[in-house]
Amino acid sequence: MEQKLYVKVLKFFLIVFVTMLFFFPIYWIFSMAFKPFPEWTAAGGKIYWFPNNPTFNNFRAIFSRKLEMSPIAGTAIRPILNSLTVSIIGTAIAMVVGIFAAYGISRYKAGGNLPFMLLQLRMFPPIAIIIPIMIMWAFLRMIDTWYGLAIIYGVVTLPFSVWLMKTFFDDIPKELDEAAIVDGCSNIGAFFKVVMPLAKGGIASSALFVFILNWSDFLIALILTDRRWTTIPVHISKLQSAMVGALYGPKAALGMIAAVPPIVFGILIQKYLVRGFTFGAIKK
Amino acid sequence: MASIRLENITKKFKNTTAVNNISLMIADGEFFCILGPPGAGKTTLLRIIVGLEKPDEGSVIIGDDAVNEIHPSKRDISMIFQNLALYPDKTVFENIAFPLRQQKIEDEEIEKRVVEVAKHLKIDWLFEKIPSQLSGGERQRVAIGRAIVRQPKAYLMDEPLSNLDALLRLEMRVALKELQTNLKETFVYVTHDQVEALSMGDRIAVLNQGKLQQVDDPAIIYRMPNNMFVATILGNPPMNFLKCLLRRKNGTLQIEHAAFTLNSEDKKVFSLLKAGVGATGIVLGFRPEDIKIHLSKPGTVSIPAEIYVTEPLGSETIVDIKLGDNVIKVLAPPDFVGEPGQSVWITANTHKLHLFDESSHECVFHATEKSAFTIEA
């Protein structure tokens, strides 16, 4: 049916409005990162919608080691590397364990009630379990270590990876594994040669999902790290000075950098993502 | 090339017995059909032969070797699945080459054999396509190609034609039969379609609720069914059944129905009465093509009846006829014309009647030329 012009116009403006609403925080972070101190501080009582005098000072403040006087000088490099390290290792743990667990659950009904127990694990608010974990980790001397944080990231995101991968494997007809087995593959051979290539999209989108969860975690990193292995979100919270309070400019700069890896990762696997997110929707 | 022997195979899933104590001998080079309704255990039986299911009891013997403990990949049997199970991300060439790649054969040899098989199946121009770009018949051929390329000991097929449209099914039926004639290999073919079983099989095994009902040549199984189930599943329209009474009168044996009486002097029928079969009643079975309809009273003994409905099918007409309180289906020539309610007379091939025990549904008597019944209207 042909739509009336005013309906089309109304729809257009509604879409533009909602889009702007959603993208505004992102815009605000990006613009704030390039604003000089007088523009990002609230002290003047004036709001700058655009950076009038764009500058890299915020980035310089957190990356350059030359500004000896500043307490935050050069402090951001380590947290960025830390975040990358623990998030990638945590994601790897969750994905490797998750893929095999999900395949076992999907094909061999392994574990009985285990899949549901895994899901129930997620119903616990993290705050309820993080203190006991901290005590355990302290006892094991794993506080403020990369492996201490990576292991807990892998464990916490495991239910997601298992359930996501399980739905992807469930969507691949069982006859394909069986055909491969009859054609001369071992059980594990059928998985690697036939099922895995088909589940690429699912694996990629699950990995991205798990990575973003790990990357944006604040609570666990706050409690399980101290100085050496703080991550980006924790470090952002620490960016303040005695004189001006919260350093919103440097915070925005670091926040902008934090947004980069998920975006890059997402673009790299875009081909698989579309397939992954619509996987179950395609009728075979 | 190998024969397949099943000995007392039983398989249970939780509370249901999918396959119940089945023994079968499938000869080398035979086209063997397994026919049964959905849920009869046909597919389970096939999966036990190939090794995807383990039987709870009994053993599977391929050639001379018991293979119960041998992994499906080492049994050297190929299988065509109901949904074909082509690898959706692989090209036609790689689909067909897949079984050979698992055997670590050299690339040149693989290419040679794949091309040879594909040429034979007329799909060699499709090598670079993936399954979703193929038509139903082409996919079917790729699946067949994947099965025959490694020259296994036997071929198992699980309703491979059920996803095709009617016309293509006819075509593939001929192609499969031709393939088997050329290969002279052992084919085990599972189907729920009696036409496929009758037209393709050297022998047919009829399965119901996990139990073997009858194993025989198609002609024999059609002419002399073991029980009412086999009589029903083969033939379209299926065999007619009429509940009758069996009793002795004046030295002959009478099978009595409201509309007619059949007389027999055969000893075997007498012994039935003695054995107590049919004390409560007996079921008379006859095929639709063994009844003839006459629009006017014929010279021979005939039974008066009434047309209920006619179903013209083009090549023939199915006439539903009211006989007493029952309705039977009769095959008439395509030019048959009749109105519902019209009076007709029917005669029967009295040497092609069957008697079934009412309680066990087993066939107790097949009439032959020598032991034909006589009709009394």
Q: pLDDT tens digits, residue range B92-140?
A: 999 999 999 999 889 999 999 999 999 888 888 889 998 888 888 889 8
Cβ distance of B102 and A197 shorter than 8 Å: no
Which tens digit of pLDDT belongs to each residue from B5-40? 999 999 999 888 899 999 999 999 999 999 999 989
Confidence of residue A282 (pLDDT cuts 50, 70, 90): very low
Which residues on A lie below 8 Å from B145 (Cβ)? none
CB atoms within 10 A of CB A267: 10
Picking from A175, A184, A198, the nearest residue to B102 by CB comes out as A184
pLDDT of residue A112: 80
CATH architecture of B240-376: Beta Barrel (2.40)
pLDDT of residue A98: 94
Ranking B330-334, B348-352, B373-377 by mean pLDDT, the lowest is B373-377
d(CA B110, CA B99): 10
pLDDT of residue B357: 87
Q: Which whole number is the average pLDDT over B313-333?
A: 91
Q: How far is B261 from chain A (nearest CA, A)?
A: 55
CA distances in angstroms from B37 to A118, B40, B82, B207, B304, listed in the order given: 41, 6, 15, 8, 36
d(CA B83, CA B90): 16
Confidence of residue A1 (pLDDT cuts 50, 70, 90): low
On the 0-12 / 13-18 / 19+ scale of CB atoms within 10 A, B235 is middle
Confidence of residue A280 (pLDDT cuts 50, 70, 90): very low
Please say whether the structural domain B4-233 has been given the CATH code 3.40.50.300: yes
pLDDT of residue A211: 92
pLDDT of residue A284: 38
pLDDT > 80? residue B274 = no
d(CA B56, CA B53): 9
CB proximity B83 to A under 8 Å: yes
Q: Please state whether beta strands B291-294 and B343-348 pair in parallel, antiparallel, or not at all (unpaired).
A: antiparallel
pLDDT > 60? residue A149 = yes
What's the DSSP call for residue A2?
Answer: P
Q: Which whole number is the average pLDDT over A6-14?
A: 93
Q: What percent of chain B has pLDDT over 70?
A: 99
Cβ distance of B85 and A184 shorter than 8 Å: no
d(CA B318, CA A48): 88
Picking from A185, A197, A198, the nearest residue to B102 by CB comes out as A185
pTM: 0.80
pLDDT of residue B35: 94
ipTM of the complex: 0.82
pLDDT > 80? residue B275 = no
For the CA atoms of A79, A81, A83, A85, the dihedral, rounded to the nearest 10 degrees, stands at -150
CB atoms within 10 A of CB B250: 6
pLDDT > 50? residue B360 = yes
pLDDT > 70? residue A30 = yes
Which tens digit of pLDDT belongs to each residue from A222-234? 999 888 899 999 9
d(CA B166, CA A135): 70
Closest CA to A223 of A159, A128, A157, A155: A128
- Domains of chain A and CATH, by start: 77-234+261-281 (1.10.3720.10)
How far, rounded to the nearest angstrom, does the alpha carbon of residue A2 sit from its chain's CA centroid?
42
Picking from B71, B79, B85, the nearest residue to A176 by CB comes out as B85
Q: Which whole number is the average pLDDT over B63-79?
A: 90
Question: At how many degrees (to 10) do helices A270-277 and A248-268 cross?
Answer: 80
Q: In terms of C-beta distances under 8 Å and separation of at least 24 residues, what long-range contacts does B48-54 make, across chains too?
A: B48/B6, B48/B9, B48/B11, B48/B19, B49/B4, B49/B6, B49/B77, B49/B156, B49/B188, B50/A182, B50/B75, B50/B77, B50/B79, B50/B156, B51/A182, B51/B75, B51/B77, B52/A178, B52/A181, B52/A182, B53/B11
CA angle B269, B272, B276 (to 5 degrees): 150
Same topology for domains B4-233 and B240-376, yes or no?
no
Which tens digit of pLDDT belongs to each residue from A56-97? 888 888 887 776 567 777 788 899 999 999 999 999 999 999
